[in-house]
Structures are given as structure tokens and as C-alpha cells.
Amino acid sequence: SEMCIRDRHGVNGKMLANCSVMQANFSSNFLSQLTLRLKEKTFTPEEMVYFEGETDIFLFEITSGSVELFLGAMNTHLKRVAKDETFGEWSFFTGNRYTESARCTDFTNLFVIWRNDVLELLDNFSLDREKFFCLRDRLTLYTALSLSLIHIS
């Protein structure tokens, strides 16, 4: 059992090592516990990861394959995300609905962290909890300021 846990830390910890926002802001103890909650999921080409407007929020990292982020009915391409890149960060930290949709372009493996798992775990890590909500507030403020600047010009 201890060997299994050590192996999960090694494999799943790789995701967290590639996620700079997590590495820069959270304690190693918190990240170590978080690795136990990571899941790996496999998707086929053209399979949807999530749809714009969904409220069940996850943070994703691609371990193989690629994902296209796009806007709704017009299918407007925003970005292609590839191996070792993360996506879903804005919704993950703010708790707001996804503002885009995500579709796999190849056979794709993703590491997945459910936002609710993180929030539950943060109850045991007060400093990390404070940092998480500080990030949320900064992103929300940045978005609000960006939108107000668009309306001003």
C-alpha cells in the first residue's frame, strides 16, 4: 500500500510539477496530498472535454494528444493546447462557468483535478486556502478591469 501511494505521488506529482501556478502558490504538503486526488482520463478524437457554460469545474493537463479550445456555436478557434500544458485555469480558480468549450483533436490523455476536491482539501491547509482565494480575487478583479477598459475605449 505504501509502495502504491509512493508510485501515485510520482506519477501524479508530475502533473503538478508542470503546472506553474500550482507550484508557485501552494505548499509542498498541500500539493503532495492533492496528488492523491488526481485522476487520469482518456478521450478520443473529436470527443468533448467540456462545453461552454458548464459549472462542474476541473483543471486539466495534457499528458498526450491535444485539445482545441473554441467558442460556442460559431466554432471560433481560440487555442490549441498540447502535451504538458494545462487548461481550464480561469474557471478552476474563479469558480465561474467555462467561457469556452474544449474538444480533443487526437487520442488524448488528461490529468484531471476536480475543483470541489481542491476546496475540500484546502480546509486542512489554511495558508494554501488563503492563497487560493487570493488568486480567485485577483483573476476576478483582472477580468472586471479588462472588461471595463473594453467598454471605455
How far is it, in rounded angstroms, from Cα 40 to Cα 63? Answer: 9
pLDDT at 21: 83
Reduced to 3 states (helix: H, G, I; strand: E, B; else coil), residue 126 is helix
Regarding pTM above 0.85, the answer is no
pLDDT of residue 1: 40
pLDDT digits (tens, 9 = 90+) for 69-89: 999 778 899 999 999 999 999
What number of other Cβ atoms are within 10 A of residue 84's Cβ? 14
What DSSP letter does each residue of 37-50 carry, written as one string? T-EEEEE-TT-EEE
What residue type is 19 in one-letter code?
C
pLDDT at 6 over 70: no
Is 53 strand, coil or helix?
Answer: coil
Best CA proximity match to 66, nearest among 90, 46, 50: 46
pLDDT of residue 145: 67
Residue 141 has pLDDT above 90, yes or no: no
Name the burial class of residue 133, with classes exposed (0-12), middle (13-18) and buried (19+) by CB atoms within 10 angstroms of its CB. Answer: middle
At 149 the pLDDT is: 58
DSSP-derived secondary structure letter, 96: P
Beta bridge partners of 67: 81, 104
Give the mean pLDDT of 13-42: 86
* Cα-Cα-Cα-Cα dihedral sign, residues 143, 47, 11, 118: positive
Which range of 65-69, 136-140, 145-149 scores highest in mean pLDDT? It is 65-69
Q: How confident is the model at residue 18 (pLDDT cuts 50, 70, 90)?
A: confident
What integer is the mean pLDDT of 129-140?
94
What is the rounded CA–CA span in Å between residue 68 and residue 87? 10
Collapsing DSSP to helix, strand or coil, 85 comes out as coil
